[in-house]
Amino acid sequence: MSAKPLAVVILAAGVGSRMKSENPNAAKVMHPLAGRPLFNWVLDTAESLKPERIIPVIGPDMPDLAAACGPHKPVIQKTRDGTGGAVRCALPVLKGFKGNVLIVLGDAPLISAASLKKLIKARESGLLVGLSVLGAAVEDPTGYGRLITRRDGSVEAIIEERDADPKQKKINLINTGAFCVDGGRLARWVEMIVPHNAQNEFYITDLPEIAATEGFLTQSAIASDPSEIVGCNTRADLAALEFLMQQRLRAAAMAGGVTMLDPTSVYLSYDTRIGADTVIEPHVFFGPGVSIGAGCHIKAFSHLEGATLARGCSIGPFARLRPGSKLDEGVRIGNFVEIKKSKIGAHGKINHLAYVGDCTMGPDVNFSAGAITVNFDGFQKHETVIGKNVMVGSNVNLIAPLRIDDGAFIAAGSTITQNVPADSLSIARDVTKIREGWAAEFRKRKAAMAKKMKAKKTDGRKR
């Protein structure tokens, strides 16, 4: 990295009208990608460069985006008058800054630190290089501005597609919208931008031409991967970005020792952590906040969010772990089981058709089919505490608040409302009553009633 100071300006004021949001002030860059806003992907990459300052440029009435900026105080672009207008809003914060100013787009979340470092290096490649622009070589350049470069890689011009002649349209080196500019000259050059369109908007793509009037060159740098430049203007663009991001996340997980039987059907979040030798079956969804230890097995059609799994756990198929779920080593969660805000002790077994919410469960507990913790009374959530080596029988209702001590046995079909002492058997069922012959008499009465109704209908038709 350069020894010169670095500032990063993130352009993020757009509302994204083509996203068709009901909120007219919704920031386009707050749409989620792999569980986090587009903007925060760009912000993280900017922070990884360790700049002296980061200046997000946002629109008015965007409280969510302002909060997402974290410690970096945003500036407001009250009038959305193009990228040049956005950079102009950042100039007061950059007053007196003499280092490199990196300008990046907040809706291009795949941009890498490696490519931005190339861009900075290009800017410093010569005393007469006043700025650099990041380009990308793509198969289909339709819709993008073209970089017209010389043999030495310097930029002769940036031509928008609408202004390109047939020969220029065949050029596949496009402008990504990322620039690195000499901070000592940026303010003067931005003030020299004039609009050339009916919208009266100012564009930083005019900077190379302006710099050339003072004898300064614009140098190009090429993105490490063409997919990095993909931006977001529509919901279809967002889906395309999700596809690319998921490819990256899956590749990183598998490179770390994770087995995925069908990677394309597994969806990860930006912060998913999976230990080596874990096997992920098809159609598994990881929401934010999931950490999985080594040697786990996540079976098909399971949904995990905000959950922590220790080594050697088995989940699913068709299991759901909601936020606050914490599983110790060797826990088995089977099909159609839901866990919410609960700690399950080591080697616990909740194999099928169960709900555990707001519960602390000790090790070696068997929680049988159809059993549930009844944690909500209509007003408040209450906790169930289960000790170690407890057997909870099938179709048991545990009415919280409740404590079941070590070694207790809860008989199947019970509804438990009182604390259960250690090593006790708790049974809460109605007394069984058997009425011999009742079923046969019941069927006989039903048949007679049906015969009577049929006769009445027949008599009605004769009349």
Catalytic residue numbers, as ranges: 352
Q: How far apart are CA 310 and CA 330, in angstroms?
A: 7
Cis peptide before 401 (omega within 30 of 0): yes
Compute the CA torsion angle 400, 402, 406, 411 (nearest 10 deg): -70
Beta bridge mates, 303:
285, 320
The first and second tokens of residue 276, run together, are 């080596």
CA atoms within 13 A on the CB side of 6: 22
> With the CA atoms of 458, 460, 462 and 463 taken in that order, what torsion angle do they form, in degrees rounded to the nearest 10?
170
Could you write out the three-class secondary structure of the chain? Answer: CCCCCEEEEEEECCCCHHHCCCCCCCCHHHCEECCEEHHHHHHHHHHHCCCCEEEEEECCCCHHHHHHCCCCCCEECCCCCHHHHHHHHHHHHHCCCCCEEEEEECCCCCCCHHHHHHHHHHHCCCCCEEEEEEEEECCCCCCCCEEEECCCCEEEEEECHHHCCHHHHCCCEEEEEEEEEEHHHHHHHHHCCCCCCCCCCCCHHHHHHHHHHCCCEEEEEECCCHHHHCCCCCHHHHHHHHHHHHHHHHHHHHHCCCEECCHHHCECCCCCEECCCCEECCCCEECCCCEECCCCEECCCCEECCEEECCCCEECCCCEECCCEEECCCCEEEEEEEEECCEECCCCEEEEEEEEECEEECCCCEECCCCEEECECCCCECCEEECCCCEECCCCEEECCEEECCCCEECCCCEECCCECCCCEECCCCCCCCCCCHHHHHHHHHHHHHHHHHHHHHHHHHC
Q: Which residues contact 195 (CB under 8 A, 6 or more apart)?
A: 81, 82, 201, 202
Contacts of 413 (CB under 8 A, 6+ apart): 393, 394, 395, 396, 429
